[in-house]
Structure 1
Amino acid sequence: MTALPSVVDPVRIASRRIVRALGFMGGPFAGTDLSPSAVHALIEIEACEGLTANDLGARLRLEKSSVSRMLRKLVLSGDVTETAEETDGRRKRLSLSAAGRERVAAIHDFARSQIVDALARLQPGQDRIVLDGLRLYAAALSDGVTGRPSGSSHIDIASGYRTGLIARITQMHALYYARTSGFGRRFESVVAGGLAAFCDRLENPVNAIWVAMRAGEIVGSVAIDGEDMAQGPGPGIAHLRWFIVDDSVRGGGVGRRLIASALAFADDAGFAETHLWTFAGLTAARHLYEANGFDCVEERRGAQWGKEVLEQRFVRKRP
């Protein structure tokens, strides 16, 4: 579709107003003394712990020298830590320090307050118009920069089994947690075995699985298992399992859409509670769980994944 000339300049004007209002032109940004690129770097590292400087540069579309200078400052300030890979000491994995996690939490709080304040000035229903418009515009801009054909970044949430689902979801889990948590063969085997057994039970109406689809490829997943905790904590317990999004779409709202689909199913099915098991250190995922009404109710040391971690159980009561 060719844009109307009467639309182009107003979009440019609105874009400049957004850039200025958010502080990209200088001065304090996101309530910090950091540059916009440094703030975005911290957010990306939080969302994908263990990425490299090259990964970060690709995500932020910055030159290698700019990323190096920025990371040097963030390491010196104590916000970011670098860990050399065992197989190649020249490659370093990036993580947030405790101070860095506190700083990012403050950045999120500041940004959310900006958005809440702005949306409060709109008429009822206009907030959804803003959300949908920004998503479409951001996707179109991204497609133009990356050279993808228009619409290629569109992601659908679909339910039910499809060919290759078990292998693809297992692959996403194995790659992500090998990089971020050091999990290996044992973890991959547990994921694959549990997911295969669950798919054999999908005919039961209390069980369901959703996948995020982009151009025919699975880029995210989540499931509700209504059976495996029936004899555990008690009846009426839904188990949220196999939540994962591919690195290429992390931070773009796909995870929120998957969780929303799963929780809507659990509520409609009448489950009194929804439980999930995870482990400490997955900060971005924990923010998402808590934003959807989950509370951490139990912590214990465990090694079922092949490496000892602090396992956590989160519970959400049906509204």
Structure 2
Amino acid sequence: MDFDVRPFEAADADWLVSEHATHYAQAEGFDDSFGPLVRRIVDDFLRAHDETCEAGWIAHHKGQRLGSIFCVRKDNTTAKLRLFYVVSEARGTGVAQALIDQCLGFARAAGYGGLTLWTHESHAAAGRIYMRNGLTRTHTKAVHSFGVDLVEETWQIAF
């Protein structure tokens, strides 16, 4: 599939929130508390991100958005990957890897010493991508979130 990756824009916000909320409700049974969490993350980014060390990207093809990823500041030395998502019809096409490459490259160029992310064990395909790119799962915890039983995961990589 032919696609490009461009910077995230405010006009992408509603799509990103809707896509995350709809997908995870259908695929994993998440309740309606997940969409507001994604909205808060997006709104916080739009309101106060530091362009020198934080960015977001959208993969797209012929006007269709295919996925998203963000790199934000966790602390002075660590970046945090957020809102990594690829629409189902673009999975297996290289979109996910292109987004990961964009995020990791930006984090390194911004001077971070490493990157961390939080996800769920049920996102096994994403876990394989993280592992393939040198991240290590460092923590797991059983929780009840978004109306379902989940296993939270923390992944990390040092640069």
TM-score calculated relative to the size of structure 1: 0.48
Shift of 1:306: 3.6
Q: Within 5 A, what are the aligned runs for 1:195-274?
A: 195-226=42-73, 229-230=74-75, 235-274=76-115
Question: 2:149 matched to 1:308?
Answer: yes
Distance 1:203 1:237, change over 3 A: closer
Separation in structure 2 between the aligned mates of residue 204 and residue 255 of structure 1, nearest angstrom: 23
Separation in structure 2 between the aligned mates of residue 170 and residue 193 of structure 1, nearest angstrom: 9
Shift of 1:196: 1.2
Shift of 1:217: 2.3
CA contact (8 A) 2:122 2:150 kept: no
Distance 1:241 1:191, change over 3 A: same
Find the partner of 2:19 among 172, 185, 201: 172
Give the superposed CA RMSD.
Answer: 1.5
CA contact (8 A) 2:29 2:147 kept: no
Distance 1:281 1:213, change over 3 A: same
Separation in structure 1 between the aligned mates of residue 35 and residue 43 of structure 2, nearest angstrom: 12
Residue of structure 1 in register with 2:118 after alignment = 277
Find the partner of 2:136 among 275, 280, 295: 295
Name the SS for the 2:33 alignment partner. Answer: helix
Q: Deviations over 1:94-148 (max 9, x none)?
A: xxxxxxxxxxxxxxxxxxxxxxxxxxxxxxxxxxxxxxxxxxxxx5xxxxxxxxx
CA contact (8 A) 1:201 1:207 kept: no
Percent identical? 26
Separation in structure 1 between the aligned mates of residue 23 and residue 8 of structure 2, nearest angstrom: 23
Shift of 1:203: 4.2
Separation in structure 2 between the aligned mates of residue 222 and residue 242 of structure 1, nearest angstrom: 5
Question: 2:19 matched to 1:156?
Answer: no
Shift of 1:214: 1.3
Shift of 1:162: 4.4
Question: 2:39 matched to 1:192?
Answer: yes
How many residues of Structure 1 are paired with residues of Structure 2 in the alignment? Answer: 159
CA contact (8 A) 1:157 1:210 kept: yes
Name the SS for the 1:312 alignment partner. Answer: strand
AA matched with 1:167: D
Q: Deviations over 1:272-319 (max 9, x none)?
A: 11000011122111110000110000111233434331100000111x
Q: Deviations over 1:216-274 (max 9, x none)?
A: 22210000011xx22xxxx3010000000111211111000000000000011111110
AA matched with 2:141: R
Give structure 2 stretches of 5+ with no counterpart.
none
The structure where strand makes up a greater share of residues is 2
With a CA cutoff of 8 Å and minimum separation of 6, indicate the structure with the bigger relative contact order: 2
Q: Deviations over 1:3-29 (max 9, x none)?
A: xxxxxxxxxxxxxxxxxxxxxxxxxxx
Separation in structure 1 between the aligned mates of residue 49 and residue 60 of structure 2, nearest angstrom: 19
TM-score calculated relative to the size of structure 2: 0.93
216-225 or 194-203, larger mean C-alpha shift: 194-203
CA contact (8 A) 1:172 1:245 kept: no
Give structure 1 stretches of 5+ with no counterpart.
1-138, 140-153
- Segments ≥4 residues shifted beyond 4 Å: none
Shift of 1:184: 2.0
AA matched with 2:5: I
